[in-house]
Amino acid sequence: MRFGQKLSSAAAPFFVLFLSLSFLQLPAWGAPKREGDPALLWAFGALRAASTHPMALPVTSGMVLHSGDKLKMMLRIRKKCFVYVLYKDSQGNLSMLFPYSPKFFDSDYRIDHNYYVPESDAWFQLDKKTGKETFYLIASEQRLRDIEYTYKKYVSCKGEKNKRNLAGQMLSELDSLGRNNLALANRAGGQKTLVRGFERAAGEDPTDITGLAEGISLNNIYSQTFVIVHK
């Protein structure tokens, strides 16, 4: 996603980019990973506009946020996997927030590197259009080319009816991934976050979302849906 562009060519503007978080560069390759290490570190944080002392809060499904509040995500790959972050606005329009571009996995995809959504110092900000905003996090040991292909068709298709049909197809695929993940989790005794990835030290920037990061284990695939109530 580029600065100044809409999240989706079909969607009305929902987010405005703001600058506020310093981007952390890390080595491309880390130490060897143990079998029990999480495959992914993930953080999803919010800043409340009404707070006099802003502090990044963890975003949970069902969380109530208001116009003017800000959102940001961070992911860090610990073991080879493919991560997708998709967003559905209150009008049903879809946007793929991560990977950043269709060729991203083929070029600059690195282990032990912090990736931010939106990129660099930017934050998303909730606009005046209220409703339910839905974010999908999917991590898979295999690249999900069907999801990539359907989204590519969605972005390029013409006509509202065709776009709605493709959006419905993608949402069906995402729901199916969620059901499969739940079935795998039940068989494995539960796929849960394993460890805190970072801790917020005294004196550090309270708006830095890396202190919210949690480790996620994979059993082939992992998915989580965040529904934000935007008022």
Averaged over 212-231, what is the pLDDT? Answer: 90
Any domain includes 121: yes
The pLDDT score that the predictor gives to residue 185 is 52
Q: Has residue 59 got a pLDDT over 90?
A: yes
The pLDDT score that the predictor gives to residue 148 is 92
Nearest one of 89, 81, 175, 85 to 136, comparing CA atoms = 85
pLDDT in tens, 81-104: 999 999 998 888 899 999 999 889
Residue 57 class from Cβ within 10 Å (0-12 exposed, 13-18 middle, 19+ buried)? middle
pLDDT band at 58 (very low <50, low <70, confident <90, very high): very high
Any domain includes 116: yes
The pLDDT score that the predictor gives to residue 37 is 77
The pLDDT score that the predictor gives to residue 182 is 59
Residue 84 class from Cβ within 10 Å (0-12 exposed, 13-18 middle, 19+ buried)? buried
The pLDDT score that the predictor gives to residue 120 is 86
Least reliable range by pLDDT among 29-33, 56-60, 127-131, 155-159: 29-33
Any domain includes 75: yes
The pLDDT score that the predictor gives to residue 144 is 92
User: Is the overall model pTM greater than 0.85, yes or no?
Assistant: no
The pLDDT score that the predictor gives to residue 202 is 44
Residue 115 class from Cβ within 10 Å (0-12 exposed, 13-18 middle, 19+ buried)? buried
Any domain includes 11: no
Residue 53: helix, strand or coil by DSSP? coil
Any domain includes 69: yes
Structure tokens at 119: 């990129």
Residues 6+ apart with CB under 8 A from 228: 59, 61, 63, 64, 65, 71, 132, 133, 134, 135
Any domain includes 2: no
pLDDT in tens, 156-207: 988 888 888 888 888 888 777 767 665 555 444 444 444 444 444 444 677 8
Domains of the chain: total: 1
Range of the domain at 149: 18-230
Any domain includes 57: yes
Q: Has residue 116 got a pLDDT over 90?
A: yes
Q: Has residue 11 got a pLDDT over 80?
A: no
Sign of CA dihedral 200, 77, 215, 118: positive
Any domain includes 3: no
